[in-house]
Amino acid sequence: MRLIGDGGEQLGVKPLPEALTIARSQELDLVEVAPNADPPVARLMDFKRYEYEQQQRRKESRKKATQVVIKEMKFRPKIDVHDYTTKMRHVERFLAEGNKVKLTIMFRGREMAHPELGLRILERIADEVSGVAMVESAPRQDGRNMTMVLHPLKRPAAGRGHDGGAAKDGRKPPKPRPPAPSEAPEPAAVQASPAEES
């Protein structure tokens, strides 16, 4: 077999008994790395150390892998000021932590006739968080729900607390404005399906 030293140096073609003797004399393992080659290739190495190094590399790879987490926040078309403000705090915190946020407007009953109310809320939210997030998925109607996905502009800094997304210069983001009350009248009965948002 063709023998390779621990440092990668070529030791030439050796019979198996001699290769084993060399491995024992250096307190190393004889590991076959290319059994299908002609002649087969074996390497002298500390196999336990090799396994340990491989395990450490896998750990480092997992640490560097980006873990995408999507948080969801649900709104109603006629949400009141208090609930809107509370939910916006959660949205800003999720974004500050580096998470994507899926916003869902839930329609029911006659609200289905006025999808523009949900669109108005989503556009307002996108405007309020424009300094820390971008719209990844534009608003779209999906049955009784309208959804939009926000993507944080940058990953959170190490050691950042759950402070609701305070800026690096110490300034806090502006407080969210409550949604404007609906001015559209509610019809007595609705038979038509809601218009699809483009």
End-to-end CA distance of the chain: 68
Length of the chain in residues, anyone?
Answer: 198
Residues 6 or more apart whose CB falls under 8 angstroms from that of 92 comprise: 129, 132, 164, 165, 173
- Using the predicted structure, report yes or no on whether residue 120 has a pLDDT greater than 80: yes
Kindly report the backbone phi and psi dihedral angles of residue 33, in degrees, each rounded to the nearest multiple of 5, phi listed first. Answer: -105, -20
3-state secondary structure of 116: helix
Query: Looking at residues 120-147, what average pLDDT do you find?
Result: 92
d(CA 144, CA 58): 44
Q: 57-106, pLDDT tens digit by residue?
A: 888 887 766 666 889 999 999 999 999 999 999 999 999 988 999 999 99
Question: For residue 38, what pLDDT is reported?
Answer: 86
- Using the predicted structure, report yes or no on whether residue 172 has a pLDDT greater than 90: no
Q: Who has greater pLDDT, 170 or 134?
A: 134
Band (128; pLDDT cuts 50, 70, 90): very high
Burial of 77 (0-12, 13-18, 19+ CB in 10 A): buried
- Using the predicted structure, report yes or no on whether residue 167 has a pLDDT greater than 60: no
Sign, Cα dihedral of 117, 119, 124, 129: positive
Query: What's the predicted TM-score (pTM) here?
Result: 0.47
Question: Percent of the chain scored above 70 by pLDDT?
Answer: 75
Please report, as a single letter, which amino acid is at residue 143. Answer: G
Kindly report the backbone phi and psi dihedral angles of residue 92, in degrees, each rounded to the nearest multiple of 5, phi listed first. Answer: -65, -35
- Using the predicted structure, report yes or no on whether residue 193 has a pLDDT greater than 60: no
Q: 21-38, pLDDT tens digit by residue?
A: 998 999 999 998 888 888
Query: Looking at residues 142-169, what average pLDDT do you find?
Result: 68
Residue pair 144/107 in contact by the 8 Å Cβ criterion: yes
Residue pair 14/1 in contact by the 8 Å Cβ criterion: yes
Ordered domains of the chain (ranges, CATH): 2-47 (3.10.20.80), 62-181 (3.30.110.10)
Burial of 133 (0-12, 13-18, 19+ CB in 10 A): buried
**How is residue 108 written in tokens?**
């029911």
